Amino acid sequence: MRLAALLLAAGQGTRFGGPLPKQYAPLAGRPVLRHAAEALLAGGHVALLQPVGEAGPILDALGGLAHLPPVPGGATRQASVRAGLEALAAHAPDAVLIHDGARPCIPAGTIPALLAALDRHPGAIPALAVTDTLKRGADGVIAGTVSRAGLFRAQTPQAFRFAAILGAHRAAGAQEATDDAALLEEAGLAVALVEGSERNLKITRPEDLPRMEREMTAPMVPRIGTGFDVHRLVPGRPLVLCGLTIPHEMGLDGHSDADVGIHALCDAIYGALAEGDIGTHFPPSQTRWKDADSAQFLVHAAGRIAARGGVLSNADVTLICERPRIGPHAAAMRQRLADLLGVGVDRVGVKATTTERLGFAGRGEGIAAQAAVCLLLPG
């Protein structure tokens, strides 16, 4: 069976709020959509991954993963699914999974169970039996009790034989179904139920992100790392600190851009991972790192956290210098480091101190930095 998957990322997530649609919100250091895509591809069942939504953000979120070119979404979820199915039609898959980009976790047994159900039915969905008492409300009071017998909460990915779901969407016209299974129901086709999971949570509100992260990090153990770096101040060089170019009459001397803040932070991350130091990964003896932007070093360090299945809990950087004043730039430095690490700015601290005019830093001969990080790695 040749299996394709639609990954829906066209929604705006009005209930979620915030500066980003929920599918691009950072979760455990990576966008929610990235987790959803990796969950679909895990196990090797999916041969074709078709994202649906705005191309730029999707390409940024899914960089390095094999997928078809994104197709634009429609005004409704149903229109977005239809657009994705039409794009897949040229590839003639036997079956398709349709998955919400805001569901970052697919338990390991879900996709095999759906595929097994497709051997007997044209469609199958994961679902959870309703266990809470249901009330119908009106004007802020109970208007009645609804029997929960035979009621289920539908989840995604939903699985369908490709010809059946494409035909159902083409026949649906402008009607607005709540999910894709409803279209097969309308056509009189049987849709199987397989066991869902509470872990298959759809990110809907801001409080769902920490809840999901707790689910993802429960079996992890903390790892602490520290880093320290120092460079001389010299004329004729730009002063780069924590990823920002700071106006100053001198800059830091070094093989790369000599960003002591990022260098110390990288060493802290590599130390927590027990993977050496920044010189191990970016040797100063190699000419390609001459005057290099240290931002790429931090992106690499963040990638090593992800490659180990880890999460950056928090990072803290202290810059040690008499001049320039760091305070006016600290907020922008925090944001820059957070962007490079792929985490929320609330996880990154940047502050400064002086040495009371003592030593090389006190004499204005150089700038030092120390950093500490806490990682969570699989135990």
pLDDT, tens digit, for every residue of 161-208?
999 999 999 998 767 788 899 999 999 999 999 999 888 999 998 889
Q: How many CA atoms lie within 13 A of 237 on its CB side?
A: 20
* 8 A C-beta contact, residue 367 and residue 303: no
Cite the DSSP H helix spans in 173-277: 180-186, 208-217, 260-273
The reported pLDDT for the residue numbered 99 is 97
Please state the pTM of the whole predicted model. Answer: 0.62
Over residues 145-156, mean pLDDT? 94
Q: SS3 for 100? A: strand
Long-range Cβ contacts of 136-139 (<8 Å, 24+ apart): none
Residue 122: pLDDT band by 50, 70, 90 thresholds?
very high
Structure tokens at 256: 């790369």
Residue 36 Ramachandran class (φ > 0 left, ψ -120 to 50 alpha, else beta) = alpha
Q: For the chain, what percent of residues have pLDDT higher than 90? A: 74
* 8 A C-beta contact, residue 94 and residue 46: no
Distances (CA, A) of 241 to 179, 279, 293: 49, 18, 11
How far is 118 from 106, CA to CA, in rounded Å? Answer: 18
**Parallel, antiparallel, or unpaired: how do β-strands 30-31 and 191-195 relate?**
unpaired
Over residues 60-85, mean pLDDT? 94
Say if residue 275's pLDDT is above 60. yes
Residue 125: pLDDT band by 50, 70, 90 thresholds?
very high
DSSP 112-123: HHHHHHHTTSSE
The reported pLDDT for the residue numbered 219 is 79
Domains and CATH numbers, the chain: 3-217 (3.90.550.10), 220-378 (3.30.1330.50)
Residue 18: pLDDT band by 50, 70, 90 thresholds?
low
Mean pLDDT of the chain: 92
Q: Considering only 85-89, 166-170, 300-304, 354-358, which range has the smallest mean pLDDT?
A: 300-304
On the question of a cis peptide bond just before residue 210, with omega within 30 degrees of 0, the verdict is: no
The reported pLDDT for the residue numbered 15 is 54
Q: SS3 for 82? A: helix
* 8 A C-beta contact, residue 105 and residue 33: no
* 8 A C-beta contact, residue 191 and residue 1: no
On the question of a cis peptide bond just before residue 93, with omega within 30 degrees of 0, the verdict is: no
Structure tokens at 354: 């002086």
Bridge partners of 99, per DSSP, are: 7
Scored b (16 or more CB within 10 A) or e, 208-229 reads: bbeebbeebbeebeebebebeb
Over residues 83-108, mean pLDDT? 95
Sheet holding 220-234, edge to edge: 251-252, 220-234, 366-378, 311-320, 348-353
Longest CA span, the chain: 82
Closest CA to 192 of 274, 289, 95, 310: 95
The reported pLDDT for the residue numbered 341 is 87
pLDDT, tens digit, for every residue of 199-236?
899 999 888 998 888 877 777 899 999 999 999 999 99
